[in-house]
């Protein structure tokens, strides 16, 4: 059976609960069961804060099942399960409540991103420095090799031959 139950918290915050309940019965009594569940749920929620509802919805379902169980048992019914799928918040209380936490998370994310970018830039700078150092070492080795070859006497490289048939005056 689907549930749609408007309630008010201890703080006076109106909420609407959407969920489902399943039960065993000898005959169909959906409307009576729905009314009984709604009455108990409203009573439980009146004693809780919005924060308590959000942090432990499983406990809320268990409390509802325990509270309504004896009344339904007298009518030959047994609650099998209760689940809440959604809590509607027409006053946007949860969004307002979460705003400071969301900003803290966003700030931490921006700081983490800035740190990651800084580390990436440092790594790139180190990579470029290693490349430059390697290029400098290669130039030094080539210069040393050229210098060593220039100090040694040896045959001069052969000059290119000219083809006599195609020589130009």
For the chain, give every domain's residue range. Answer: 2-91, 94-150
In angstroms, the CA 150 to CA 93 distance is 85
Residues 5-30 have pLDDT tens digits of 888 888 888 888 888 877 776 556 77
pLDDT in tens, 116-148: 889 989 988 888 888 888 888 888 888 888 877
pLDDT surpasses 60 at 160 = no
What pLDDT is recorded for position 103?
A: 84
Q: What is the length of the chain?
A: 169
Q: Which CATH class is domain 2-91?
A: alpha beta
Structure tokens at 153: 């006497």
pTM for this predicted structure: 0.51
User: Which pair of tokens denotes residue 49?
Assistant: 């804060």
Asked if the model's pLDDT at residue 150 lies above 70, the reply is no
């Amino acid at each position: 059976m689907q549930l749609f139950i408007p309630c008010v918290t201890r703080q006076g915050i109106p909420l609407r609960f959407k969920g489902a309940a399943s039960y065993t019965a000898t005959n169909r009594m959906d409307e009576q069961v729905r009314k009984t569940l709604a009455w108990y749920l409203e009573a439980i929620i009146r004693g809780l804060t919005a924060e308590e509802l959000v942090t432990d919805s499983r406990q809320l379902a268990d409390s509802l099942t325990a509270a309504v169980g004896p009344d339904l048992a007298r009518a030959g019914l047994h609650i099998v399960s209760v689940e809440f799928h959604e809590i509607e918040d027409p006053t946007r209380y949860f969004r307002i409540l979460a705003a400071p936490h969301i900003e803290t998370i966003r700030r931490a994310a921006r700081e983490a991103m800035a740190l990651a970018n800084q580390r990436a830039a440092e790594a790139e700078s180190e990579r470029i420095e290693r490349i430059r150092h390697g290029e400098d070492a290669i130039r030094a080795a080539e210069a040393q090799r050229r210098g060593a070859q220039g100090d040694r006497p040896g045959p001069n490289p052969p000059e290119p031959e000219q083809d006599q048939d195609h020589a130009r005056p």
